[in-house]
Amino acid sequence: MRKGLLFILILMFSVVLAACGTNENEEGSSENSGSDNAADSKWSEVQEAGELVVGTSGTLFPTSYYPENSDKLTGYDVEVMREVAKRLDLELSFEEYGVDGLLSAITSGRIDMVINDMEITESRKKEFAFSEPYKYSYSTMIVRESNLSGIETLEDLEGKKHGGGATTVFAQIAEHFGAETKTYGNVANDVYLRDVANGRTDFIINDYYLQSLALEALPEIPVQLHPDLRFHPTESAIVMPKEAATLKEKVDETLNEMKEDGTLTDLSKEFFGGQDASKKPEADIREIEGLDL
């Protein structure tokens, strides 16, 4: 409303203003200042608190999880976030949510940001700000060892049951090809895998690195990665409020430093079995057409 009134007043008095020699840049400067203040407010809030409050699941091996017999949260994403906070000279605390509750926790203001292998998508970018990517990958799927769950191509997903979170990109892909998604709360990987093995679900679409390592950790469950299906190249980033431009700038600068000095590579190799997920993969990966993500 205020901007609309200002616009009308400028039109009405443009000749007078010009005659008086008023500099139009003063008004523009005022509006830019308001925009800058909005961009800086989240960063100022974080600085005043001296702490970043970050949402993660705590159940996603090897990015955000508790090692067996340990009560210390760790994982690739967790350690990336710890290093970012350290370099920004901020304390760090994690709040744990189910996958479907992470983004809403940003919207409600309960947390400052999310790190949980969260993929950058066009639809999410309409509501949230994303950092520079700290991980590159692609999607694949876990199926039964006995018969690959009857799946040879993505088109064979029609009528099958997919296990995953309702709001994930992976559920969108599954449903795009005609599958039904069985949703879960904040449960560990073995629950998902056993449901595929016993036929409650048929497949799980997820990140290649996460799935390959989950299978290594649970070799007794008779499931496997599909040998032929690689699709949907992905970039994972830290998610922040849409208006948090200054906070995003600080985080981006830090992540770029960590790329340049090899920290991201070292952390990736530590948690992804020697593989460097901080760089784009060179595999032949199918792009999915007709799906607006």
**Both tokens assigned to 199:** 């036929």
Per-residue pLDDT of the chain (293 residues; tens, 9 = 90+): 433 433 333 333 333 323 333 333 444 444 444 445 656 899 999 999 999 999 999 998 899 999 989 999 999 999 999 999 999 999 999 999 998 899 999 999 999 999 999 999 999 999 999 999 999 999 999 999 999 999 999 999 999 999 998 888 899 999 999 999 999 887 888 999 999 999 999 999 999 998 998 899 899 999 999 999 999 999 999 999 999 999 999 999 999 999 999 999 999 999 999 999 999 988 889 999 888 77
Q: How far apart are CA 239 and CA 56, in angstroms?
A: 11
**Both tokens assigned to 71:** 């009560």
Q: How far apart are CA 171 and CA 155, in angstroms?
A: 15
User: pLDDT value at position 37?
Assistant: 64
Does 3.40.190.10 match the CATH number of domain 45-134+237-271? yes
| CATH number for domain 137-233, candidates 3.40.190.10, 1.10.540.10, 3.40.50.300, 3.20.20.70 | 3.40.190.10
User: pLDDT value at position 40?
Assistant: 80
Instruction: Give the pLDDT confidence of 140-165 residue by residue, as tens digits.
Output: 999 999 999 999 999 999 999 999 98
Q: How far apart are CA 39 and CA 198, in angstroms?
A: 50
Residue 246: which of 32, 34, 43, 33 has the closest Cα? 43
Domains 45-134+237-271 and 137-233 are alike in CATH topology: yes
Q: Where are the domains of the chain?
A: 45-134+237-271, 137-233
Instruction: Give the pLDDT confidence of 33-52 residue by residue, as tens digits.
Output: 444 565 689 999 999 999 99
User: pLDDT value at position 21?
Assistant: 38
**Both tokens assigned to 157:** 């997903």
Looking at the DSSP bridge assignments, the partners of residue 70 are: none
User: pLDDT value at position 170?
Assistant: 94
User: pLDDT value at position 188?
Assistant: 82
